Amino acid sequence: MTNPTTDAAKKDRVIIFDTTLRDGEQCPGASMTFEEKLEVAELLDNMGVDVIEAGFPIASVGDFESVSEIARRTKRAVVAGLARAIAGDIDRAGEAVRHAQRGRIHTFVSTSPIHLAHQMRKSEEEVLEIIAATVARARNLVEDVEWSAMDATRTPIEYLCRCVETAIKAGASTINLPDTVGYATPDEYRNMFQTIRERVPNADKAIFSVHCHDDLGLAVANSLAGVEGGARQIECTINGLGERAGNAALEEIVMAIKTRGDVLPYETGIETTMLTRASKLVSAVTSFPVQYNKAIVGRNAFAHESGIHQDGMLKNASTYEIMTPESVGVTKTSLVMGKHSGRHAFREKLKALGYNLGENALEDAFRRFKDLADRKKHVYDEDIEALVDEEILTAHDRVKLVSLSIIAGTRGPQRATMKLDVGGEIRTQEAEGNGPVDATFNAIKALVPHEATLELYQVHAVTEGTDAQAEVSVRLAMNGSSVTGRGADPDTLVASARAYLAALNKLLVRGERLHAHAAE
Ligand code: KIV
Ligand code: ZN
């Protein structure tokens, strides 16, 4: 069996290191539940990602548990846990990836003068000692150690060379040189890798890695330039999710390499037909919408609107299309079954859309599909995806919507009557509000009292037409952290209630976890 994490330099095979579950999840409001993280990790593994950075085990009990469980379940990919240059972090990361078939500790320390002076308050010599000690400690726990120089692109090259040499000597087999603040240009980033690889005497003992943030919109260009400079691992995230402006987008990097093999003579192990599914899943679990004109996975990425373009496309698709929609998993929007379709057809449809549901989840999704088909004339693939994503994500929810009726219109106050199932107990409430959405949310607050505040309320239509399903995103904040929930339904108010409850359920789970930990 070939091992891309060690053979990459020889074959120009580029290692794809996905950090959606770590750097991506650090993005405010993008936090995922335990189950959501497992689902994303499974998809990344099936899609051919080489390394999954599953989290930051010391950050919280929840992070530790999800990294451990992903480590246990992942079949092909290396599973990495992040650690600062602190003994406790490294030991915790080692414990979290202990059960992985292939586990990695990824430890980092800042190297730039700005970080050393203002954040670390350490001298260059002290940081070199820290690198040697922490990498060696990690190497005692696992064979596969990655070391990162945080803020590498603002670090003087002579000092960066000494840091890299020290890390490799201490046992790091991957050296990551991040553009932490998204400051570099492609030429600078390419040159940095070339120089380091020329000057560091033991550089041939490690694989070099790029990790770029998108503050100036250069993350993908910089990542590819770094590969031209000799790096053979790319750290990236689905949909470019990540701190501030985000990280380099995995789907853009992979498709640039695939489409421009003439100037980028590299290969990845990614099954590109799964990119759209991955994008939708990450968008669903984080409730971060994908920009319509986003490269590769935006809903307009393959839409040709102008007359000239449409004319060209009809004559020959290559006139305006540099890659096919099918190559990234976009299937033609097709009319799915109607209300007479049976379970078998529904199951086949789900398989074609990339879902693999257990019997109970399938039964629930089928019931909701029938209900939707009764209310909506045409049911499209996108409708099924919205419905199933919601079904998967809310399967374990403690608070569920049973029914909702609303009195709305020009004469207020608007009024909501809501029935909820709260852990098996049915509760009913009537509430007024300044508009029907406000009345709906007030009813939830009365039925399940909580302190959370609403940070975001967003609606968009899943497909076209006035009977389209509304997809609503709600972000709630409590005790300094925020979560997002999503709900879909042809009735915008029902979708709003579902989205609010999805977010509230996440907060409840988080609260229970913290409570359990405090009691330990
Ligand atoms: O951007 C960065 O420098 C990071 C490191 C922790 C690798 O995310
Ligand atoms: Zn980062």
Cα–Cα distance, 233 to 239 (Å, whole number): 18
351 alpha carbon to ligand 1 midpoint, in Å? 37
Whole-number pLDDT of residue 373? 86
The pair of structure tokens assigned to 55 is 């989290």
What percentage of the chain exceeds 90 in pLDDT?
64
Q: Is 220 left (phi over 0), alpha (psi -120 to 50) or beta?
A: alpha
What atom in ligand 1 is closest to the CA of residue 151?
Answer: 3
In the DSSP assignment, the letter for residue 116 is I
pLDDT for 54 beyond 80 = yes
Whole-number pLDDT of residue 3? 53
Whole-number pLDDT of residue 243? 85
The pair of structure tokens assigned to 62 is 């929840």
Q: Is residue 320 within 8 Å of residue 348, measured between CB atoms? A: no
User: Where do runs of H (alpha helix) occur along 56-156?
Assistant: 61-73, 87-96, 113-115, 124-141
Q: Does 23 appear as a known binding residue?
A: yes
pLDDT for 95 beyond 50 = yes
- pLDDT band at 515, cuts 50/70/90? low
Q: Is 81 in the pocket of ligand 1 (CB under 6 A)?
A: no
Ligand nearest to the CA of 209: 1
Q: Is 84 in the pocket of ligand 1 (CB under 6 A)?
A: no
Whole-number pLDDT of residue 2? 47
Q: How many degrees, rounded to 5, is the angle at CA 207 between CA 204 and CA 213?
A: 135
What atom in ligand 1 is closest to the CA of residue 19?
Answer: 8
User: Is 10 or 13 the better-scoring residue by pLDDT?
Assistant: 13
Q: Is residue 254 within 8 Å of residue 16, measured between CB atoms? A: yes
461 φ, ψ (degrees, to nearest 5) = -90, 135
The pair of structure tokens assigned to 445 is 């607050």
What atom in ligand 1 is closest to the CA of residue 178?
Answer: 3
Whole-number pLDDT of residue 4? 52
Ligand 1 site-directed mutation target among 115, 180, 243, most atoms within 8 Å of CB: 180
Stretch 427-444: mean pLDDT, rounded?
96
Most confident of 51-55, 370-374, 453-457, 515-519: 51-55
296 alpha carbon to ligand 1 midpoint, in Å? 25
112 alpha carbon to ligand 1 midpoint, in Å? 13
86 alpha carbon to ligand 1 midpoint, in Å? 15
Q: Is 18 left (phi over 0), alpha (psi -120 to 50) or beta?
A: beta
Ligand 1 site-directed mutation target among 19, 82, 108, 215, most atoms within 8 Å of CB: 108
pLDDT for 31 beyond 60 = yes
Stretch 238-250: mean pLDDT, rounded?
96
Per residue, the 3-state secondary structure of 284-347, as one string, reads HHHCCCCCCCCCCCCCCCCCCCCHHHHHHHHHCHHHCCCCCHHHHCCCCCCECCCCCCCHHHHH
Q: Is 27 in the pocket of ligand 1 (CB under 6 A)?
A: no
Q: Is 150 in the pocket of ligand 1 (CB under 6 A)?
A: yes
What atom in ligand 1 is closest to the CA of residue 23?
Answer: 8
159 alpha carbon to ligand 1 midpoint, in Å? 18
Tell me the pTM: 0.81
pLDDT for 7 beyond 60 = no
pLDDT for 379 beyond 50 = yes
What percentage of the chain exceeds 70 in pLDDT?
93
Whole-number pLDDT of residue 516? 63
Whole-number pLDDT of residue 392? 72
pLDDT for 333 beyond 80 = no
User: Is 286 or 394 the better-scoring residue by pLDDT?
Assistant: 286
The chain-wide mean pLDDT, for the chain, equals: 90
Stretch 87-91: mean pLDDT, rounded?
98
Stretch 214-233: mean pLDDT, rounded?
98
Please enumerate, as own/partner, the contacts of 407-416 that have beta carbons within 8 Å and a separation of 24 or more.
408/435, 408/436, 408/493, 413/439, 414/438, 414/439, 415/439, 416/440, 416/442, 416/443, 416/493
Pick the range with the lowest mean pLDDT from 70-74, 161-165, 340-344. 340-344
Q: Does 247 appear as a known binding residue?
A: yes
Pick the range with the lowest mean pLDDT from 54-63, 167-176, 287-296, 477-486. 477-486
180 alpha carbon to ligand 2 midpoint, in Å? 6
User: Per-residue pLDDT tens for 163-221?
Assistant: 999 999 999 999 999 999 999 999 999 999 999 999 999 999 999 999 999 999 999 99
pLDDT for 42 beyond 60 = yes
For residue 99, CA distances in Å to 23, 87, 102, 138 come to 22, 20, 8, 16
Q: Is residue 517 within 8 Å of residue 495, measured between CB atoms? A: no
In the DSSP assignment, the letter for residue 426 is E
Q: Is 148 in the pocket of ligand 1 (CB under 6 A)?
A: yes
**Burial (Cβ within 10 Å: 0-12, 13-18, ≥19) of residue 519:** exposed
Q: Structural domains in the chain?
A: 13-286 (3.20.20.70), 302-330 (no CATH), 343-393 (no CATH), 396-519 (3.30.160.270)
* Count of H-run helices and E-run strands, the chain: 17, 14
Whole-number pLDDT of residue 40? 95
Q: Is 236 in the pocket of ligand 1 (CB under 6 A)?
A: no
Upstream peptide bond of 57 is cis (omega within 30 degrees of 0): no
pLDDT for 315 beyond 80 = no
Nearest CA to ligand 1 atom 8: 23
Cα–Cα distance, 127 to 109 (Å, whole number): 8
Whole-number pLDDT of residue 10? 45
User: Is 68 or 386 the better-scoring residue by pLDDT?
Assistant: 68
Ligand nearest to the CA of 246: 2
The full DSSP string for 4-70 is: HHHHHHHHTBPEEEE-IIIIITTSTT----HHHHHHHHHHHHHHT-SEEEEE-TTT-HHHHHHHHHH
pLDDT for 23 beyond 60 = yes
Q: Does 364 appear as a known binding residue?
A: no
223 alpha carbon to ligand 1 midpoint, in Å? 14
Q: Does 211 appear as a known binding residue?
A: yes
- pLDDT band at 332, cuts 50/70/90? low
Most confident of 22-31, 228-237, 275-284: 228-237
Q: Is residue 431 within 8 Å of residue 415, measured between CB atoms? A: yes
User: Among residues 487, 393, 311, which one has the least CA distance to residue 40?
Assistant: 393
Cα–Cα distance, 365 to 377 (Å, whole number): 18
User: Is 354 or 152 the better-scoring residue by pLDDT?
Assistant: 152
Ligand nearest to the CA of 155: 1
